[in-house]
Structure 1
Amino acid sequence: MRKFLLLWLIASACLSVNAQQKFRVIGYLRTNNILEGQAGQVDYGKVTHINIAFINPDSAGNFTSMPGLKAFADKMHGLHIKVLASIGGGLAPAYYTSLLAEGNRQALVQKLAQLSESYNLDGIDVDLEGERVDANYESFITMLSAALKPKGKLLTAAVATVYKDRYTDKVLSLFDFINIMSYDKTGPWRPEKPGPHAPYEMAVEDMNYWAGEKGIAKDKLNLGIPFYGYGFGPGAPSDMSFRKIVSTYSGAENKDEWTLPEGGTIYYNGIPTIKNKTTLALERAGGIMIWQLLGDAQGKYSLLNAVDEVVHQKK
């Protein structure tokens, strides 16, 4: 009986470790962070994937040379971390509409496939939003999938629930995994609607839609969390990294908003909420996605540390 119990405990521990190893922690870094050597501040032992944002072509569909990118990817591979080029972004160039059109689509796909090969990247992350997810999006993703998958490359996407009707079931089925941008519910572009831009309730609603209503498999979903805040009202900055928030306002790390003497308020996710969202992701998703890693604080105030503690059940 004791032998059986011991074997059961060992097997349970192995299953727990395997589950933790499979859980993705995806962090975005900006292109200039990589090329200008700022990315050394990240604790890479706590991430599984790096998405480099944003590597966009010019209006002719050509990509500029990026010295240092391959060296970074090679270094990450030595740490067993996958590296993807993320295209688009919330302010993606308007000419994507032309690049995705039938006459230009194949050339763009070929150049993206070559980009992943040239810099030894593990795939392409597509962060096209709003009007950029147009009538040509499905054809583009279908062609890009056909170009990347035979080479063993990943194809992922950043999606927002507010644009949910623009993503077809076929498109969603082609992504290896999907990063849910569960933030930016409001922001400086909507000064008339101040308030939390990434409340816990939004994460629950987003998971209810993508995992529940859409029925996407748990392992394909990553819950997005913000390492930044937005300010509204007198004296409040329009945006502020979590690093800057906790270094400026003592005690802010355990709150989700901070009211300034002038009357304005900064809204963000503090350590308790990040831990709660990570618990939610462990229950209903296959990972966490972070925008963006260099917004984090250091040491005991680090949100990445908070994510890691929950994933590995540290106390």
Structure 2
Amino acid sequence: MKFYFFACLLFTGLGLRAQTTSGKTANDFKVIGYYTPGSAEPESLPLNYLTHINYSFSIPAPSGDTLVPLRDDSILKRLVKHAHGGKVQVFISIGGWGIGDGGGEDGRFHRMAERAEGRKTFIKSTMDLVKKYDLDGVDLDWEYPDEDSQSADDYVMLVKDLAAQLHAQNKLLTAAVVARGKKGYGVKKEAFMAMDWINLMAYDGDFGGDIVKAHSPYAYAQESLNYWLDERKLPASKAVLGLPFYSKLGFGKFGPTYKQLVADGASAYDDYWKGAFYNGINTIEAKVRLAKQKGCAGVMIWEIGLDTADDTSLLKAIDRAKR
């Protein structure tokens, strides 16, 4: 997902509760937006279309045991003030892609989680951060614990201990996970059952999946849900389907944001323009309806600062489709 902004970007409980086809109400359906500083001013984020915002990212130190202090924590403070004023919860997302410095992209997580003392210190650092900024939860973005290895078991122990401490403080724990495939088995059932929900990164399919170039078509969302719900037996009530607000140019190359595409003349209703594959309004609405039909907990977005603010808005499309 989360290329560290492409390598370095509650429910409201209010109003009428429109019934959905899954038995959930529109207000029960989570709309979770990842947010990176610089993509938009915190106060500009449209809270009426969101239930949660994941501030991205807090980064583990090279040892993995502690978290690196935020470069400018005033942005997170502004975000929390704005979001809480609109009854939207704020989580801290820890990790992301591209934080490795030896030992693989996720070497810092490996070095921390393989030691009981490392896990303990990491959890204390995380809980201190949650308390300091009055956050509502933690989104763990370890990309990725290895399947059939010690790190998958280490991940389980980390998640269980972190969840216990967060839940004791009435805070929540989630995680971002790969869309499907072998890497997904690094997240064992014992891990995802300890979490409140998991965010399925059903995009970047052009990195080597069998749906090349298209990045995140409707079929990829179907494959991701089939993998997690049917093959992995993740309860639908813990599944949150990921939606992209950016484009890809094929084979791992990032393209313009949705906002940039529309400004340059791309149709808000198509999925392809001048070599860029993206999700327009029709596809976004279809994916939201799919998530509802499957009984999922909701949808999440990478990244909310990349949306438009007029009638072409994808957040507005999500809001329409969830009702």
TM-score (norm 2): 0.82
Greater gyration radius:
1
2:3 match: none
Question: Is contact 1:31-1:54 (8 Å) kept?
Answer: no
Greater alpha carbon shift after TM alignment, 115-124 vs 156-165? 156-165
- Give 1:217 shift: 2.2
Task: Summarize the Cα distance change of 1:245–1:164 in structure 2 as closer, same or farther, 3 Å threshold.
Answer: same
Question: Is contact 2:206-2:212 (8 Å) kept?
Answer: yes
Task: Summarize the Cα distance change of 1:126–1:273 in structure 2 as closer, same or farther, 3 Å threshold.
Answer: same
2:4 match: none
Q: 1:273 aligns with which of 261, 283, 289?
A: 283
- Give 1:132 shift: 6.7
2:111 match: 98
C-alpha separation between the residues in 2 aligned to 1:179 and 1:232? Answer: 23
C-alpha separation between the residues in 2 aligned to 1:72 and 1:274? Answer: 26
C-alpha separation between the residues in 2 aligned to 1:199 and 1:306? Answer: 16
Question: Is contact 1:31-1:55 (8 Å) kept?
Answer: no
C-alpha separation between the residues in 2 aligned to 1:159 and 1:227? Answer: 18
TM-score (norm 1): 0.84
Identical-pair percentage: 30
C-alpha separation between the residues in 2 aligned to 1:85 and 1:227? Answer: 20
Instruction: Report whether the alignment pairs 1:287 with 2:298.
Output: yes
Task: Summarize the Cα distance change of 1:71–1:257 in structure 2 as closer, same or farther, 3 Å threshold.
Answer: closer
Question: Is contact 1:92-1:128 (8 Å) kept?
Answer: no
1:64 match: 69
Q: Pairwise CA RMSD of aligned residues? A: 2.3
1:119 match: 133
Please give the residue correspondences for 1:123-138 in structure 2 after superposition, counting only pairs within 5 Å. Answer: 123-131=137-145, 134-135=151-152, 136-138=154-156
Instruction: Report whether the alignment pairs 1:19 with 2:2.
Output: no
Please give the residue correspondences for 1:110-259 in structure 2 after superposition, counting only pairs within 5 Å. Answer: 110-131=124-145, 134-135=151-152, 136-160=154-178, 161-162=180-181, 163-187=183-207, 195-232=213-250, 238-250=254-266, 252-258=267-273
Q: Structure 1 runs of 4+ off > 3 angstroms?
A: none
C-alpha separation between the residues in 1 aligned to 2:81 and 2:309? Answer: 25
Task: Summarize the Cα distance change of 1:76–1:14 in structure 2 as closer, same or farther, 3 Å threshold.
Answer: closer
Q: Which runs of 5+ in 2 are unaligned?
A: 1-15, 101-106
- Give 1:51 shift: 0.3
C-alpha separation between the residues in 1 aligned to 2:76 and 2:268? Answer: 33
1:3 match: none
SS at match of 1:240: strand
1:43 match: 46
Higher helix share: 1
Greater alpha carbon shift after TM alignment, 107-116 vs 130-139? 130-139
Task: Summarize the Cα distance change of 1:68–1:269 in structure 2 as closer, same or farther, 3 Å threshold.
Answer: closer
SS at match of 1:289: strand
How many equivalent pairs are there?
285
Deviations 1:120-154 (CA, angstroms, capped at 9, x unpaired): 00010011113577242111111111221100110
1:6 match: none
SS at match of 1:215: coil
C-alpha separation between the residues in 2 aligned to 1:56 and 1:166? Answer: 21
